[in-house]
Amino acid sequence: MEESGAVLIKRYGFDADKHAAYIQKILGRFENPYLKDDVERVGRQPLRKLSAGDRLIKPLLGYAGIQPSAQESDSGDCWCNALPQ
């Protein structure tokens, strides 16, 4: 979280102190035994999570200047287009 946070701070101007507090809040959630997030739920629907329209791949495609078709956005067919050749 610290490594990705450093990128957010440098590239997008996130406030370092606020982001450090956010990281601590999230780590506190991981330590809370009453908040369950099992592996089955986290790993569910990998094709959706890798689709061009989802929160992980969509920003990468935009950064690379790639505009996926509607079908690619729904299916995840173009995520590999964002990778360097």
pLDDT, tens digit, for every residue of 12-70?
Answer: 899 999 999 999 999 998 888 888 878 788 788 888 777 777 877 777 777 778 777 66
Is 72 a residue whose pLDDT tops 80?
no
Smallest CA-to-CA distance from 21 within 32, 5, 35 is with: 5
Q: What is the pLDDT of residue 34?
A: 87
| Ordered DSSP codes for 2-31 | HHHHHHHHHHH---HHHHHHHHHHHHHHHH
Q: What is the pLDDT of residue 17?
A: 97
Q: What is the pLDDT of residue 46?
A: 81
Joined tokens for residue 84: 């360097």
> Predicted confidence band at 81 (pLDDT cuts at 50, 70, 90)?
low
pTM of the model: 0.52
Q: Could you count the other beta carbons within 10 Å of the beta carbon of residue 27?
A: 10
